[in-house]
């Protein structure tokens, strides 16, 4: 007797749809204040940087690489539809390497050095 498998495409589409919804909602709420004053208006034309922080190596990579890929797919779909508030999203991808200390260091880098508007990750 052959077992039916839950199709990978369905799972990826579901993850992508969920990630896209969360991504859009986070960016709209997070970017609400971007460009709200005259001094910030010069930033209105550039892309919105978003951090993507997952384990791309180490023991957790087996499950987190597909999540990262789904988030990138969602970002590409959002950009294809005009971005968020007319601005494209620019992913900044970092590897947490399945290590809590590395995750903390990469999150700090994304926020302080790369100046991302939000971070998606574990």
Convert the pLDDT of each residue in 59-78 to its tens digit. 999 999 999 999 999 999 99
Structural domain total, the chain: 1
pLDDT band at 36 (very low <50, low <70, confident <90, very high): very low
Check residue 122 and give its pLDDT. Answer: 74
Return the percentage of the chain with pLDDT > 70, whole number.
64
Cα–Cα distances (Å) from 122 to 7, 38, 47, in that order, read 24, 35, 24
In a domain? residue 121: yes
Query: Which residue segment(s) compose the domain that 83 sits in?
Result: 48-122
Q: How far apart are CA 98 and CA 102, in angstroms?
A: 8
State the greatest distance between any 2 C-alpha atoms of the chain, in Å, as a whole number.
Answer: 68
Q: How far apart are CA 90 and CA 109, in angstroms?
A: 16
In a domain? residue 34: no
Q: In this structure, what CATH number is given to the domain that contains residue 85?
A: 3.40.50.2300
- Compare 41 and 87 and report the one with higher pLDDT: 87
In a domain? residue 97: yes
Cα–Cα distances (Å) from 57 to 18, 31, 53, 65, 74, in that order, read 24, 31, 12, 8, 22
In a domain? residue 6: no
In a domain? residue 76: yes
- Compare 35 and 64 and report the one with higher pLDDT: 64
Tokens of 39: 């001094």
């Amino acid at each position: 007797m052959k077992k039916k498998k839950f199709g990978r495409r369905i799972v990826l589409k579901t993850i992508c749809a969920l990630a896209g919804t969360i991504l859009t909602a986070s960016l709209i709420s997070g970017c609400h204040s971007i460009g709200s004053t005259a001094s910030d208006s010069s930033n209105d034309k550039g892309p919105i940087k978003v951090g993507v922080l997952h384990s791309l190596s180490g023991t957790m990579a087996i499950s987190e690489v597909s999540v990262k890929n789904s988030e990138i797919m969602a970002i590409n779909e959002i950009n294809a539809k005009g971005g968020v508030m007319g601005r494209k999203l620019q992913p900044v991808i970092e590897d947490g390497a399945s290590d809590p200390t590395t995750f903390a260091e990469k999150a700090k880098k994304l926020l302080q050095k790369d100046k991302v508007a939000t971070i998606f990750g574990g």
